[in-house]
Amino acid sequence: MDGTLVDTEPYWMRAEIELMDRHGLHWDETLGELMVGNTLLRSAEILGEHGLPLPPEQTVEILLDGVVAQVREHVPFRPGALELLADLRAHDVPCALVTMSYRRLAEAVVAACAPGTFTALITGDEVSAGKPDPEPYLVGAEAVGLPPSACAALEDSLPGLRSAVAAGTRAVGIPHIVPLPRLDGAVLVESLAGMTTEGLSDLLSR
């Protein structure tokens, strides 16, 4: 979701910097790149490793409060994302939102999409193992009633791509904050801008 459907990374960065600053600690965009693609608990642990004296669970809730508040004011959709989702919906392609964000943030994003955009919502606080484990995408495939091999997974992070490939889906990487390396089982595109259901199908059939 983050970095693929929406660009909430600046929101997370603002929340992280404000939290660290309240404790007299330094945080910046370069350090923030350490967080990309991780579970929220792992991201909270990274802040702890940089001196934040809070339990990871408390850190997650504080960060979520800050990001959800910003999302409710404005949802920063990535170029082409809403248009592709609308085209998939028009072609009756079921979609699951598989994200390591927690449900209350994911629901705030889904609320800004057209009704019926997503058949299922799989969130980081509701799976036993996060990305790069295959569980999130296995659960997502089951939720839409398809085998993983019949599903496409759109990702902006290496942990996400590894999760998608390990689950047996057809993985598409869209680099955003950090570059993505070539990965067996995945294809890379620069952007979702202009992407259609037909274009996505053609891309995955190569």
In a domain, 52, yes or no: yes
In a domain, 134, yes or no: yes
Single residue among 54, 73, 92 that ends a domain in this structure: 73
Same domain (yes/no): 85, 135: yes
Structure token pair of residue 154: 């759109």
Q: Does residue 123 register a pLDDT over 90?
A: yes
Same domain (yes/no): 57, 139: no
Same domain (yes/no): 107, 62: no
Question: CB-based burial of residue 179 (10 Å sphere; 0-12 exposed, 13-18 middle, 19+ buried)?
Answer: exposed
Same domain (yes/no): 20, 99: no
Q: State the Cα–Cα distance between residues 2 and 12, nearest whole angstrom.
A: 10
Cβ(2)–Cβ(99) below 8 Å: yes
Q: What's the structural domain count of the chain?
A: 2
CATH number, domain at 21? 1.10.150
Single residue among 19, 45, 73 that ends a domain in this structure: 73
Helix H segments across 50-144?
Answer: 56-73, 81-90, 103-110, 135-143
Same domain (yes/no): 97, 199: yes
pLDDT of res. 35: 86
In a domain, 117, yes or no: yes
pLDDT of res. 39: 80
Same domain (yes/no): 128, 192: yes
The Cα angle at residue 188 between residues 170 and 197, in degrees rounded to 5:
60
In a domain, 4, yes or no: no
Same domain (yes/no): 95, 179: yes
Same domain (yes/no): 18, 118: no
Per-residue pLDDT of 104-122, as tens digits, reads: 999 999 999 999 999 999 9
Coil, strand or helix at 51: coil
pLDDT of res. 87: 98
Per-residue pLDDT of 132-183, as tens digits, reads: 999 999 999 999 999 999 999 999 989 999 999 999 999 999 998 788 999 9
Same domain (yes/no): 89, 159: yes
In a domain, 1, yes or no: no
Question: CB-based burial of residue 131 (10 Å sphere; 0-12 exposed, 13-18 middle, 19+ buried)?
Answer: buried
Q: Which domain holds residue 127?
A: 81-204
Per-residue pLDDT of 33-84, as tens digits, reads: 888 767 889 999 999 999 999 999 999 999 999 999 999 999 999 999 999 9
Instruction: State what percent of residues in the chain have pLDDT above 70.
Output: 100
Same domain (yes/no): 88, 119: yes
Single residue among 25, 55, 73 that ends a domain in this structure: 73
pLDDT of res. 65: 97
